[in-house]
Amino acid sequence: MICKEYAEKTMNKILNIDCLEHMRKIPDNFYDLCLTDPPYGIGISSNPVRQKHKKKNWDNNIPTNEIFEEIFRISKNQIIWGGNYFNLPISKGFIVWDKKQSYNLSFAMCEYAYSSYDFPAKMYSYANRGDEEKLHPSMKPLKLMDFCLNFALQRDKNIKTVFDPFSGSGTTLVSAKSKGLCYVGCELDKDYYEIINKRLSQVQGSLF
């Protein structure tokens, strides 16, 4: 059941619940932006290169159509990494992350994010070479999420709330809090939920 009181009560929190359970309670267009990096279903959680991380099955839980329908219902705009893996609308203002990888490596040289903004596409070039501790097998760099939020804020200066239904290690929320934005995240895995809480407690940000 949709409940505005619940939506307001969960603001500036990371929730250890299924994102669909949360989103079903949120009013239409309640969040200004959904910035997220969902599981792609490509077996990344069991990749041998990432064996230092505890093996988990999170990458098998590919978002359903209902999840995307709810994301589009409760948020005014969206930036969704891995957009090429999902049946999303055609996007003019997409974002490409140039990872500066060698052509000969087995890793992707770039990644694509769907964006609902009707602006020219943008590319961000950044080589993540151990600048940050890898807290999650598919953790996006903080600088990349900062770029995404700056991209959105340049197109809508009234953004105040950011939602991430697949919070992972919490980088989206850390970026939002550091910029003084309100945030809400969902993370079903208890270990990552605790990592996010720790990261957020270390961020200095002046919330609205």
Domain boundaries, the chain: 4-201
Question: The whole model's pTM is what?
Answer: 0.88
Burial letters for 91-113: b for 16+ Cβ neighbours within 10 Å, e otherwise? bebbbebebeeeeeeeeeeebbb
Quick check: 10 and 22 in contact, CB under 8 A? yes
Label residue 174 by pLDDT band (50, 70, 90): very high
Of 160 and 111, the one with more pLDDT:
160
CATH number for the segment(s) 4-201: 3.40.50.150
Q: What is the torsion angle, in degrees rounded to the nearest 10, for the CA atoms of residue 100, residue 104, residue 107 and residue 113? A: 50
* Confidence at residue 102, expressed as pLDDT on a 0 to 100 scale: 79
On the 0-12 / 13-18 / 19+ scale of CB atoms within 10 A, 179 is middle
Mean pLDDT over 152-160 rounds to 94
Label residue 138 by pLDDT band (50, 70, 90): confident
Q: How many CB atoms lie within 10 A of CB 164?
A: 28
Pairing of strands 161-164, 182-186: parallel
Of 45 and 7, the one with more pLDDT:
7
Give the separation between CA 45 and CA 62, rounded to whole angstroms: 13
Percent residues over pLDDT 90 in the chain: 59
* Confidence at residue 208, expressed as pLDDT on a 0 to 100 scale: 44
Question: Where does the chain have alpha helices with state H?
Answer: 4-9, 19-23, 65-74, 142-155, 171-178, 190-201
- Summary mean pLDDT of the chain: 86
> E strands, the chain, where?
13-15, 31-36, 75-81, 95-98, 110-115, 122-125, 161-164, 182-186
* Confidence at residue 120, expressed as pLDDT on a 0 to 100 scale: 87
Label residue 205 by pLDDT band (50, 70, 90): low
